[in-house]
Amino acid sequence: MIFVFFFILGSIWGSFCNVCIFRLPEDKGVVIDRSFCPKCKKIIKWYDNIPLISFLFLKRKCRNCDYIINIQYFIVELLTAISFCLIYYIYGLSVTTLLFIVLSIFFVIIFFIDLKHFIIPNELTFPLMFIGFVKSFYPNLDTVIFPNFINSLIGGALGYIIIWTIIFLYKKIKNKEGMGLGDAKLLSAIGFWFGWVSVPLIIFFSSLIALAYVSPTLINRTKNLSTQIPFGPYLIIGTIIFIIFGNQIKLLLFNY
């Protein structure tokens, strides 16, 4: 029963994520503002705006015209709903679950915005840094997963400095922009959340995945090395891998 609750809660937050994904990059207001069909401009009724269900029920179409609704709405809502269930399944009813739910909302929004627009808005990275740091002061924090506040602070600084250095060197050598400061702020936020050890590991995982994903297109010469790729989504996937396997790796490398 409680899984149904987390699934519904997740799909509602997924709906909110969709609003942020579409409106944050355009600097439009995120809240209130009723949604309307981009084609016929008709305001969407509440019963046609139910997460997941309306999309299936209306068969991807606007009720009023033949406008085909972007499948991304459905994917984001489903992804958030599944994330909420998985997090609850692993961490139960706990503060850790609450923290990971907050993180998953930010990650979903950043993932899709960076994928589409090649930007990571400060409106997302700054609050994520703040929560990552402040949560370290919670007395009953799960210290197996989350670092203490000093480690968190070092992680935040290290995350920023590493990407900043890569950008700086890349500019010096190739006179081009490879990554953006948005990536630096995102990795800084992740460093605040998971401590300094997470930073090099996440860079490693993210780069491996990015390379695996990009190399077929490099071989086919549809892209070349200087083609800009949004690195944010890879950092997010790298972080998820770190959350799943991080502790085993930490044990293996540092014996702690």
Q: What residues make contact with Zn ion under the rule CB under 5 A?
A: 37, 39-40, 62, 64-65, 67
Do the beta carbons of residue 85 and residue 5 sit within 8 Å?
Answer: no
Strand partners for 68? 61
Q: Which is nearer to Zn ion, 45 or 174 (CB)?
A: 45
Output the smallest distance, CB 106 to Zn ion, in A: 31
Helical ranges in the chain per DSSP H? 2-23, 53-57, 71-91, 95-117, 122-134, 149-174, 181-194, 198-219, 232-254
Output the smallest distance, CB 62 to Zn ion, in A: 3
Output the smallest distance, CB 37 to Zn ion, in A: 3
Output the smallest distance, CB 30 to Zn ion, in A: 22
Q: Which is nearer to Zn ion, 50 or 162 (CB)?
A: 50
Output the smallest distance, CB 36 to Zn ion, in A: 8
Question: Residue 53's closest CA among 19, 84, 86, 78?
Answer: 78
Q: Which is nearer to Zn ion, 72 or 207 (CB)?
A: 72
Helix (H, G, I), strand (E, B) or coil at 34: coil
Q: Which is nearer to Zn ion, 42 or 223 (CB)?
A: 42
State phi, psi for 139 to the nearest 5 degrees. Answer: -60, -35
Q: Which is nearer to Zn ion, 44 or 162 (CB)?
A: 44
Question: Residue 21's closest CA among 113, 103, 127?
Answer: 113
Question: Residue 118's closest CA among 229, 255, 248?
Answer: 229
